[in-house]
Amino acid sequence: MVYVRKNVNKLTATEKRRFVEALLEVKRRGEYDEFVRLHIRHFRGDGERGLRAAHMTPSFLPWHRMFVLELENALIRVDDSVTVPYWDWTRDRSATSVPWTNDLLGGNGRRGDRQVMTGPFAYRNGRWTIRAGVTDDRFLTRDLGRSRNPINLPTKADLDRALKDPVYDVAPWDSTVTKGFRNKMEGWGPDSNPWLNHNRVHRWVGGAMLGGGSVNDPVFWLVHAFVDMQWQRWQRRHRNHRYLPARPPGRGRGQDGRIVARHERLPPWDVTPDELEDVSSIYQYA
């Protein structure tokens, strides 16, 4: 049965409560922190050796598609009415709008230590202690909009610039490419405009979302559901285009063994980008 991922601003009060409760239960079971650790292990610079599956790489999109599916699967084990909602940051753009409400993810961090004090994920409520973060903080942190040097969330125009590129990705398949949907969506920009789309959202949320422990903020999943939705939109707009590279890059190009081609295994899972291109029989976006 195909299930539906909804816009977070369309959830009913019951849907919000059940989503939040399922997250808290996955956390209580210790599963959530494994997601945090897995993501940290897969953050690797493209200037370093070794395979990079998750970031600065063509498989950024299928890797995070699989990652969100895994979390969703964990939520389903708790409550099979729950799906991961998406946050459309081109529409809900303020630090007090959805999803930063007390019945969802809670609000901004306070001044000083940036500790989130409101909502179900506030440390003082006792159900969201950070155990796998970059700092020794036990509490979730946010700095919505980057207080000391404010920036805005990316816009619909920013999204459209990515979506209109018909090519999925281009050589050298890393964070330096200026063409291709993948990096325009992932968002490694030039020094003059360093944060596009996805990266800019991480930067805007700040706190935990800025670093290796970004999964500690549950907004991570809402962000990546929306990123995932854009991949589907791109596919529908460019039906003759697919995940690239189709085959591993040849030796001597600097990327052999460092990226995941269409039919290669996408670690840590036993699945290929090819197998993840069409998930319409599993879920759809409303």
Partner 1 sequence: MAVSADGVSVGAVQGAGTQVDSEPRKRTRREVARLLFGSGAVALTPVLAGSRPSQSANRQRHTDIPFDETYRGRHIQGAPLPLHGLSALGADWRVTVDGHPLHLMRRADGTWLSMLDHYSWYGTPLEATRAAVDELGPGRRLRYMAPGPLGGGHPHGEAEHGVRA
Site residues for partner 1, 41-60, by CB under 8 A, read 41, 43-51, 53, 55-56
| Cβ pair 65, 276 in contact under 8 A | yes
CA–CA separation, 192 and 240 (whole Å): 33
Q: How far is the CB of 48 from partner 1 (least distance, A)?
A: 4
Tell me how far apart the alpha carbons of residues 210 and 118 are, in angstroms, rounded to a whole number.
20
- Kindly state the number of chain residues that form the binding site for partner 1, as judged by CB under 8 A: 71
Pick from 7, 59, 108, 175: which binds partner 1 (CB under 8 A)?
175
Are 272 and 263 in contact, with CB atoms under 8 Å apart?
Answer: yes
Choose the binding region for partner 1 from 36-44, 92-100, 159-167, 233-241 (rule: CB under 8 A): 36-44
Residues 6+ apart with CB under 8 A from 208: 130, 133, 140, 141, 142, 214, 216, 217
Contact residue for partner 1 among 6, 15, 18, 76 (CB under 8 A): 76
Distance in angstroms (rounded) separating the CA atoms of residues 199 and 202: 5
Task: Say which DSSP state 9 is in.
Answer: G
We find the least distance from the C-beta atom of residue 79 to partner 1, in angstroms, to be 10
CB-CB neighbours of 29 under 10 Å: 13
CA 254 to chain centroid, in Å, comes to 27
Q: How far is the CB of 274 from partner 1 (least distance, A)?
A: 7
Q: What are phi and psi of 17, to 5 degrees?
A: -60, -45
Residue nearer to partner 1 on the CB measure, 11 or 56? 56
Contacting residue, 211, 233, 241, 285, with partner 1 by CB under 8 A: 211
For the bound state, the minimum distance from the C-beta of residue 133 to partner 1, rounded and expressed in Å, comes to 6
Is-contact 68 61, C-beta < 8 A? no
90-149 residues near partner 1, rule: CB under 8 A: 112-114, 131-137
249 binds partner 1 (CB under 8 A): no
From the CB of 101, what's the least distance to partner 1, in Å? Answer: 25
Binding of partner 1 at residue 160 (CB under 8 A)? no
Residue number with CB closer to partner 1 (102 or 280):
280
Closest distance between partner 1 and the C-beta of residue 96, in Å? 23
Under the binding rule (CB under 8 A), the answer on residue 254 touching partner 1 is yes
Under 8 Å between Cβ of 279 and 73? no
Residue 245 has a CB neighbour count (10 Å cut-off) of 19
Stretch that binds partner 1, among 86-94, 204-212, 219-227, 231-239 (CB under 8 A): 204-212
Helix or strand or coil: residue 5? strand
